[in-house]
Structures are given as structure tokens and as C-alpha cells.
Chain A
């Protein structure tokens, strides 16, 4: 079945460091891909998305490119801030089934220190 695999955390970085969080997926078709972020004590917020191969989603300095050839959607940010400390989830809707049931990765916790 469809699935998402994320790199295990936690990821600990100093402020202004470069961030990469890896995400790979298995799907029978070419779904949209999403990154959600969850700040402490909060629900999930959509961070960015890409709807087709080679699309680049971007928001708040974060970017992710939909790579069909490697079935990946890695999240990157050039210079992280303390306020980026959160848990990041890669997610995809199953192509089959005909309705939108998001499948999430296990999440990667990011801690950014001053």
C-alpha cells in the first residue's frame, strides 16, 4: 500500500544552520505531496505542498521538490531559526480510493538552539 518514510529525529541544529529532512514515499500513482508542521501543543499546519513531479513547494523559507525518479520530497531550509523548532510530517493522499485520506510519516522533531 501507499506509505511515507521519514528520517528519524530528533534533528538538533544551531541557529542559521542548513536543514534537510528526508522523505520518501511509495505510491501507485503520482499523488500530491505535503509537508505539515506541528508546533508544541498545537495541531498540524500545512507548511507546503507540490501537486506534480518537479514541482517545488515553498513557504516561510522552507522548500521541497517533488522528485518522481527518486520518489522523494525532502524538506530544506537554508538558515533555520529557533522558532522553527517543531515536528515536521511528510504526508501523501493515496492515489487509489478516490478520496482524501492523508497518510503521514512518523514525523521528525527539529530542535534549533541559539
Chain B
């Protein structure tokens, strides 16, 4: 088991472009989360999947953001028409479905919108 893997680690894009990030969770984990972290802040919850079902989306997730988890395995987070305010670290985490269990995080994708 190699842990949670995120790709790419870094992404620089021009404002208005679309970007897509990928997350591969720990194989036996059926829960997958996306968080966003801006400089000097704690991670903020964006969305959550139980297997392939997206069960919750934060109000932070505007219409320009979409996340998928086909077949309940890897997940993608797409940002359309990026804005400078989207610059942040995007963290993926996975866990089992036991209540109050810890989540395991990937190393994150750092997005810079110029």
C-alpha cells in the first residue's frame, strides 16, 4: 500500500484555463475527501465521496468546480475558468467508513493561477 497519491504535485496555469487534478486513495478505503488549503490556514472541506456517490459539497465549491469518482476508485477534481483566488493547495484524503476514524492525506497539488 503506497498511501494516498495525488497528481500533479504542482500546477501553474493562466487565469481562465481549466485544470484537472487526480487522487488515488488507499485501495481499501471507500471514503474520499477533497480539501483546499490556503497559505496560513487549515484545510477547508470541499467535497466527500462514499464509493462513487458524492454525498456532500461545501458552499466553497462553486459551479466552476466539479469532482468525480467513477467506479469508486480514483477521483478527479476539475476547476473551470480558473481565477487567481483558486490558487491554493488541494488535498485529497481517504478513510474507511468506521465512524470517527482518521483520514489519510496525500501530499497535495499546489495550484498557482497567474
Which of B6, B56, B97 contacts A101 (CB under 8 A)?
B56
CB–CB B102/A46 < 8 A: yes
Contacts of B106 in A (CB 8 A): 43
Main secondary structure on A side of the interface with B: loop
Q: Is the C-beta of B91 less than 8 angstroms from some C-beta in chain A?
A: yes
CB–CB A99/B42 < 8 A: no
Contacts of A107 in B (CB 8 A): 40-42
> What are the interface flags for A51-90 relative to B under an 8 Å C-beta threshold, 1 for contact and 0 otherwise?
1000000000000000000000000000000000000010
Q: Is the C-beta of B48 less than 8 angstroms from some C-beta in chain A?
A: yes
Chain B interface bracket (under 10, 10 to 19, 20 to 34, 35 or more): 20 to 34
B88: shortest Cβ distance to chain A, in Å? 13
A interface size (C-beta, 8 A):
23
Which of B50, B102, B108 contacts A49 (CB under 8 A)?
B102
Q: Which residues of B contact A (CB under 8 A)?
A: 4, 6, 31, 33, 40-45, 48, 50, 55-56, 91, 93, 95, 97, 99-108
